[in-house]
Amino acid sequence: MKTNRKSALQPIGVFDSGLGGLTIVREMRRILPAESIIYFGDLARLPYGTKSKEQIQTYSVQNTLFLIKHKVKAVVIACNSSASAAYQFIKNHFNLPVIDVIEPAVQNAVESTRSGRVGVIATRATVESGAYEKGLARKKSGIKVFQQACPLFVSLVEEGWLSGSVTRDIAKIYLKPLLTKKIDTLILGCTHYPMLRESIQAVVGNKIRLVDSISPTVHRLQQTLERKELIRPAASHKGDLRIFVSDRPGNFIRLGEKFLGEKLDRVELVRQK
């Protein structure tokens, strides 16, 4: 495989409003272990999903600039709310590969559905953007899409309440309307939600397949890096993981370590202006 040696050694930038993007980072560490990663979690401004498109776009551009300052070779927008508001803008205005999470999840859902009836759960911003509806319609004609915003799910994850009766009760209230729609596939359209997968599956039952963006996003990242000769040779080097947050990390370190299965020795605080 050909490699552009110098650029290939640069890290990959990943951002989300909080912990959610770590669902993508975990898979990156597994599939692309030699790659170094700079992660930015915008805790000061979380949640994104309740904010306007313009506001999310501004944050997303600032996050991208922050990552570029750290000399990243590619950016992964590990946040559906950001991807739905700002992917095109970032792709058009920055001269580096940009990977989003929506298109990969759409592809996953189209491959999964037999009935053509697909549910989407996401933040309010993502639901209102219509990004999933448009994406699914582009990929498969006649597909029926049923959406539900689940804003409290992000707080449950940031709080570490991944299971238990409160989480299940909230999930039941959000998911009940979708259960009457005869969907066979449910897209977890927010990178926080895979952390609630078991609670969500328990509520919807085993007949509905849950699909997320994690593995197709990392697969797409890998293909893009290979195509651009930016992949870091796997050899002996284990990639570094550097984590920045924009406010007091709070639960971030404990939950992040548990989730990633690795020690987060240093979580660095940066103030976004």
**Nearest approach, Cβ of 17 to ligand DGL (angstroms)?**
3
Residue type (1 letter), 258: K
Asked if 7 and 225 count as a contact pair (C-beta separation under 8 A), the reply is no
91-109: string of b/e by CB count within 10 Å (b at 16+)? eeeeebbbbbbbbbbbbbb
Residue 117 DSSP code: E
154 binding ligand DGL? (CB under 6 A): yes
**Nearest approach, Cβ of 76 to ligand DGL (angstroms)?**
12
Among 11, 13, 20, 104, binds ligand DGL (CB under 6 A): 20
Gap between the Cα atoms of 252 and 257, Å rounded: 8
Asked if 183 and 118 count as a contact pair (C-beta separation under 8 A), the reply is yes
Span of 12-20, 103-111, 170-178, 202-210 interacting with ligand DGL by CB under 6 A: 12-20
Gap between the Cα atoms of 253 and 266, Å rounded: 9
- Selecting among 67, 79, 149, 187, the annotated active-site residue is 79
Residue 201 parent element (H or E) = helix 197-204
- Return the residue nearest ligand DGL (CB atom): 49
Site for ligand DGL in 36-95 (CB under 6 A): 46-49, 79-81
Q: Which of 34, 44 has the CB closer to ligand DGL?
A: 44
Is residue 190 annotated as a catalytic residue, yes or no?
yes
Residue written as token pair 């990943």: 14
**Nearest approach, Cβ of 22 to ligand DGL (angstroms)?**
10
How many residues line the site for ligand DGL (CB under 6 A)? Answer: 16
**Nearest approach, Cβ of 107 to ligand DGL (angstroms)?**
17
As given in the structure block, the two tokens for residue 171 are: 């999930």
**Of 42, 39, 80, which Cα lies nearest the Cα of 194?**
80
Is residue 150 annotated as a catalytic residue, yes or no?
no
Q: Which of 218, 230 has the CB closer to ligand DGL?
A: 218
Among 57, 123, 129, 217, binds ligand DGL (CB under 6 A): 123
**Nearest approach, Cβ of 69 to ligand DGL (angstroms)?**
22
Among 8, 10, 12, 17, binds ligand DGL (CB under 6 A): 17
Provide the edge-to-edge strand list for the sheet that holds 12-16.
Answer: 98-99, 74-77, 12-16, 37-41, 241-245, 267-269
**What is the set of active-site residues?**
79, 190
Q: Write out the residues near ligand DGL by the rule CB under 6 A.
A: 16-17, 20, 46-49, 79-81, 123, 126, 154, 190-192
